[in-house]
Amino acid sequence: MAISLRIRKRQTPLKLQSGLVLAGALVLSLALSALLLKLQGKPAGQAMLVIFQGAFGSLWALEDSLIKAVPIFLCSLGVAVAFRLQIWNIGAEGQYALGAVGASWVALSFPSLPWYLLQPLMLAAASVTGGLWGLIPAVLKLRMRTNEIIVTLMLNYIAILFLDYLVYGPWKDPRSFGFPMTRQFDTAAVVSKIGESNLNWGILVCVAAGVIFWIFFRFTRYGYEIKAGGENIRAARYARIPYDYLVMLVMVLSGALAGWAGFLEVSATVNRLEPSIMVGYGYTAIVVAWLARLNPLFIGVASLLLAGLRVGVEQLQLDFQVPAAFGQIMEGLILLTVLAGGFFVNYRFYLGKKD
Amino acid sequence: MENGPPSDPVLRLSGICKSFGATEANRDIDLDVFAGEIHAILGENGAGKSTLMSILAGRYRPDRGTIHLKGRPVHFANPAQALAAGIGMVYQRFMLVESLTVTENILLGLGRGRLRLDMARAEGEIREFAGRYDLQIDPSQTVSRLSMGERQRVEILKLLYRRAQILIFDEPTAVLSPPEIETLFGILRRLRDLGHTILFITHKLEEVMTLATRISILRRGEMVGSFAAGQVRSRRELARRMVGREVLLEVERPAVTRGETVYAVRDLTVQDAAGRPLFEDVALSVRRGEILALTGVAGNGQGPLTAALAGLLPDVSGQVEFLGRTWAASRWPRAPRGGMVYIPEDRHATASVPELSLVDNFLLTRLGRYRRGPLLALSQARRETVRALAAFDVRAPAGPDTTARQLSGGNLQKFVLSRELAGRPALIIAEQPTSGLDIGATEEVWQTLLAQRRHAAVLLVSGDLREVLSLADRVAVMFRGRIIETVSARDPRQAARVGLLMAGIRD
């Protein structure tokens, strides 16, 4: 007789305990990160403290984390809309880039408009460009049965290269000493700061978007249809739910929300279009959406945490000469442990006897 | 074996227990099987028959209890060990590789330690083997070209070739046409005569009465009795033992006057991607107050035809007439179909969304009724769900917040009916509405459909002959994509022909 490890599906998935599983997964990812630091000969415990303090330890740090959380939140909310229909939009990065391009075009083309016309116009343009960039993979999926994961991913590179082309080429500021960037936006095109803080009103856009998202999925017909269609496409077709239309709808909404993130980034944070806005928010957003199980409130919390991780790792770089990629490694570890932890929500291990 | 005390059992199961999570599938079951008998394991759906037989065949291991084979205790860790001991099982879903030949399927997994495979010799061997048991089968034929009955014979041959002495069959007649069932019964009797022991799982009383020499009845995981077939006087008595209460075998059909034609189709034809017709030139019509049954052996085109009738199949040619309006069949999928409801066969994954609550599932096909501008009237939907659950006696552990996954098959079907019938439809297309349900639930579904005739036309798609003949006024029989004849089910002489028609015999 030998003891063997067996796996069995749970009769009912974990409910409350799944929070514990999540916490356990996060702790495990931090422990693995600490181990990696240790192997590099860095003081692991101290480094973890530096990350935390660098992210949330001061008002300035907290503000910085919140500012970085805004684009992550909007992109994540966007991919969550698509994920609810089980459409795997990996293209928030590209949709964000196109949103930034759309907003920048308005800012550069209509500099004389007052802010209360210019900024809504920038927002609208970002929605259209981001949304259209999301619509392309949806149409390809429906018409030609392409895989949206591949197409959205590839479109990211096209979008980023298009952005590069603009700032290296036609939109380049003649007075930029050769740097790839547009000229700085006029103040009317810049979303203003809240009072004395470094935060801008983009935070409010996030809150509004989160609330609308919640209402949309809880109380509206399309929200219901997306939920039902995502769970069971055959039932959706049986119930005459317009599945193809919903695929296009979620991809446009998804792209538009990522576009909003692009708009806020160029307008409020950078005040111009430049390649440095492409720092992987669109990919972090996917991690966030998974961590938060597509729930808007949790997406807010997880966005702040992962934005804090970015800010904290910057501090770690300064203090301990850790490479910048370490932040991405930690992000990847978090996603992996949480995905692995999700397994325990539906399955359990037990020891069995074997002949 | 009819008279005289039976000798020692070849198989003795004692105290077998098996649970899946909180569900006790088998509770303290004792069963004796004697050599050379045809032993029916009878019980309603969910009674634990398949679990018990799967334990015997080595697929599951019991939580408690022992199995003695010829007096010696045995433990099977997997089906291969059971087979090595001479016990094999033919599952409801055949375990065959369709793209391989009969011989290849039989040799598969045999692993006789030879590198070179002499296919011609093996084929000859199997041909001779099939002949010995009088199993008509061509060993060189590809399985995908075989009928269901032939495939079943391949499964039997597979077990015999592995020297199985005890053969277990899980619902062996479920996929067969009536003539094929006769053939199977002949084969089983011959196997018994050659010294094999047969166990078969069923919930069909007729099969037990005609075939079994011994009957064991399971009810809710427990063995309620085991006796020689000769001790049973009537089907009614058997049903009572199986269900534990009196079951009406004849359905009462209150007379309903027929009304106008609600739904009719003409010249319906559709082809698959390869250009082969899935069904051809189908015409049928159904009037208010009647039940028209569409029947046939599975795979003769009823599936696609039902999808087309329900408006779920594109690119169909022909005409559809519904409530006085005529549509080209190609436009029917997009036509407004208020007044028509479709109850699909797959209630678990088509008619409902397993992970959503019953309220959300109630909304599924009734969304239009609860729209208030962009929002949904959720509290109203909830009230009506609660009312529907009560009206159809759906047992839901958490009421309207129960997820569809948590409902048993019978309760889920009643839930689907409650939703679809809530709007007093003019046309009901019900596809295999009682498949997989136990007698109690089946009867409730039948009564519901009969009651609907008062205001609706009912199109019943079913392969269950008893259901068809119990409920229908007229029966349209499909064979190879065509309706070969439509007969009256209320005329006994006509009704008797339905079984033959299903096999394509028009005499």
What pLDDT does A355 receive? 41
Instruction: Kindly determine whether residue A237 and residue B342, on different chains, have CB atoms separated by under 8 Å.
Output: no
In a shared domain, residues B196 and B289 = no
Which residues are CB-neighbours of A82 under 8 A, at least 6 positions away? A88, A89, A134, A250, A251, A253, A254
> d(Cα A81, Cα A60) in Å, to the nearest integer?
32
Q: Are B31 and B51 in contact (CB under 8 A)?
A: no
Q: Where do runs of H (alpha helix) occur along A44-114?
A: 44-56, 59-84, 92-109
Closest CA to B386 of B406, B417, B365, B362: B362
Instruction: Kindly determine whether residue A221 and residue B367, on different chains, have CB atoms separated by under 8 Å.
Output: yes
Q: Are A288 and A126 in contact (CB under 8 A)?
A: no
- Does B351 score more than 50 pLDDT? yes
- Could you say which of B380, B401, B424 is where a domain stops? B424
In a shared domain, residues B108 and B202 = yes
Chain A positions in Cβ-Cβ contact with residue B312 (cut-off 8 Å): 237-238
- Read off the pLDDT band of B330 (50, 70, 90): very high
Residue in chain B closest to A234 (alpha carbons) equals: B350
Instruction: Kindly determine whether residue B351 and residue A238, on different chains, have CB atoms separated by under 8 Å.
Output: yes
Domain-embedded: residue B348: no
A interface mutation test: which of B364, B370, B412 has the most A CBs within 10 A? B364
Written as one letter, the residue type at B465 is L
Backbone angles phi, psi at A130, to 5 degrees: -65, -45
In a shared domain, residues B93 and B112 = yes
In a shared domain, residues B195 and B84 = yes
Residues A301-352 pLDDT 10s: 999 999 999 999 988 888 888 888 888 899 899 889 988 888 887 777 776 6
Residue among B351, B356, B375 minimizing CB distance to A228:
B356
DSSP letter for A270, please. Answer: I
Q: What is the 3-state secondary structure (H, E, C) of A237-290?
A: HHCCCCHHHHHHHHHHHHHHHHHHHHHHHHHHHHCCCCHHHCCCHHHHHHHHHH
- Could you say which of B390, B424, B458 is where a domain stops? B424
- Could you say which of B372, B404, B424 is where a domain stops? B424
Pairs of CB atoms within 8 A across A/B: 60
- Does B2 score more than 50 pLDDT? no
3-state secondary structure of A239: coil
> d(Cα B358, Cα B389) in Å, to the nearest integer?
9
Which residues are CB-neighbours of A60 under 8 A, at least 6 positions away? A198
> Which structural domain range is residue B399 located in?
358-424
Give the closest-approach CA distance of B80 to chain A in angstroms. Answer: 14
Residues of CATH 1.10.3470 domain(s) within chain A? 59-320
Written as one letter, the residue type at B381 is A
What pLDDT does B45 receive? 64
Instruction: Kindly determine whether residue B374 and residue A228, on different chains, have CB atoms separated by under 8 Å.
Output: no
- Read off the pLDDT band of A7 (50, 70, 90): confident
The residues pairing with B217 across neighbouring beta strands, listed in sequence order, are: B42, B225
Give the closest-approach CA distance of B376 to chain A in angstroms. Answer: 5
Tokens 């029916």 sit at which residue? Answer: B40
What pLDDT does B440 receive? 80
In a shared domain, residues B172 and B227 = yes
> d(Cα B211, Cα B204) in Å, to the nearest integer?
11
In this structure, are strands B277-287 and B261-271 parallel, antiparallel, or unpaired? antiparallel
Considering the entire predicted model, what is its pTM?
0.74
Is the four-CA dihedral A249, A255, A257, A259 of positive or negative sign? negative
Is the four-CA dihedral B312, B318, B320, B326 of positive or negative sign? positive
In a shared domain, residues B164 and B137 = yes
Domain-embedded: residue B4: no
Closest CA to A128 of A153, A155, A166, A98: A98
Instruction: Kindly determine whether residue B365 and residue A238, on different chains, have CB atoms separated by under 8 Å.
Output: yes
> d(Cα B280, Cα B301) in Å, to the nearest integer?
9
In a shared domain, residues B28 and B74 = yes
In a shared domain, residues B39 and B107 = yes
- Does B245 score more than 70 pLDDT? no
Domain-embedded: residue B82: yes
Domain-embedded: residue B250: no
What pLDDT does B243 receive? 65
> d(Cα B88, Cα B12) in Å, to the nearest integer?
16
Q: Which of A148-152, B403-407, B499-503 has the lowest mean pLDDT?
A: B499-503
Give the closest-approach CA distance of A319 to chain B in angstroms. Answer: 49
Q: Give the residue-averaged pLDDT of A171-197.
A: 89
> d(Cα B432, Cα B441) in Å, to the nearest integer?
13
What pLDDT does A156 receive? 97
CATH number for the domain spanning B61: value is 3.40.50.300
Instruction: Kindly determine whether residue A11 and residue B352, on different chains, have CB atoms separated by under 8 Å.
Output: no
Chain B positions in Cβ-Cβ contact with residue A354 (cut-off 8 Å): 77
Structure tokens at B30: 């004792």
Q: Which CATH number fits domain A59-320: 1.10.10, 3.90.1200, 4.10.780, 1.10.3470?
A: 1.10.3470
Give the closest-approach CA distance of B366 to chain A in angstroms. Answer: 8
Residues B402-418 pLDDT 10s: 999 888 778 899 999 99
In a shared domain, residues B264 and B381 = no
What pLDDT does B448 receive? 92
3-state secondary structure of B15: strand
Backbone angles phi, psi at B66, to 5 degrees: -130, 155
Q: Which of A14-18, A290-294, B71-75, B402-406 has the lowest mean pLDDT?
A: A14-18
Structure tokens at B9: 């059992």
Neighbours of A320 (CB within 10 A): 16
* E strand map for chain A: 2-9, 347-354
What pLDDT does A277 receive? 94
DSSP letter for A266, please. Answer: I
3-state secondary structure of B68: strand
Q: ipTM of this model?
A: 0.82
Collect all residues from A whose CB is shorter than 8 A from any CB in B: 11, 219-221, 224-225, 227-228, 231-232, 234-235, 237-241, 354-355
Residues B211-242 pLDDT 10s: 999 999 998 788 988 989 888 887 777 777 77
> d(Cα B431, Cα B447) in Å, to the nearest integer?
16
B interface mutation test: which of A14, A215, A221, A237 has the most B CBs within 10 A? A221
In a shared domain, residues B80 and B159 = yes
Written as one letter, the residue type at B187 is I
Helix axis angle, A221-231 to A59-84, nearest 10°:
70
Residue among A235, A239, A354 minimizing CB distance to B349:
A235
Q: Give the residue-averaged pLDDT of B3-10.
A: 66
Residue among A219, A220, A235 minimizing CB distance to B364:
A235
Give the closest-approach CA distance of B353 to chain A in angstroms. Answer: 6
H or E, element range at A166? helix A148-168
Residue in chain A closest to B348 (alpha carbons) equals: A235
Residue in chain A closest to B78 (alpha carbons) equals: A355
Residue in chain A closest to B351 (alpha carbons) equals: A235
> d(Cα B425, Cα B459) in Å, to the nearest integer?
12
Domain-embedded: residue B251: no
- Does B344 score more than 50 pLDDT? yes
What pLDDT does B193 receive? 92
Closest CA to B220 of B399, B401, B26: B26
Instruction: Kindly determine whether residue B77 and residue A228, on different chains, have CB atoms separated by under 8 Å.
Output: no
Average pLDDT, chain B: 87
Chain B positions in Cβ-Cβ contact with residue A239 (cut-off 8 Å): 364-365, 367
Give the closest-approach CA distance of B103 to chain A in angstroms. Answer: 33
What pLDDT does B501 receive? 82
DSSP letter for A80, please. Answer: H
Residues A12-46 pLDDT 10s: 666 677 788 888 888 999 999 999 999 988 888 88
Domain-embedded: residue B349: no
Instruction: Kindly determine whether residue A235 and residue B21, on different chains, have CB atoms separated by under 8 Å.
Output: no
In a shared domain, residues B26 and B115 = yes
> d(Cα A326, Cα A332) in Å, to the nearest integer?
10
A interface mutation test: which of B356, B370, B401, B429 has the most A CBs within 10 A? B356
Q: Are B339 and B260 in contact (CB under 8 A)?
A: no
Closest CA to B163 of B121, B120, B132: B132
What's the total number of domains in chain B? 3
In this structure, are strands B72-74 and B64-69 parallel, antiparallel, or unpaired? antiparallel
In a shared domain, residues B381 and B436 = no
Is the four-CA dihedral B324, B327, B332, B335 of positive or negative sign? negative
Residue among B20, B75, B364 minimizing CB distance to A228:
B364
The C-alpha angle B219, B221, B227, rounded to 5 degrees, equals: 50
- Does B1 score more than 50 pLDDT? no
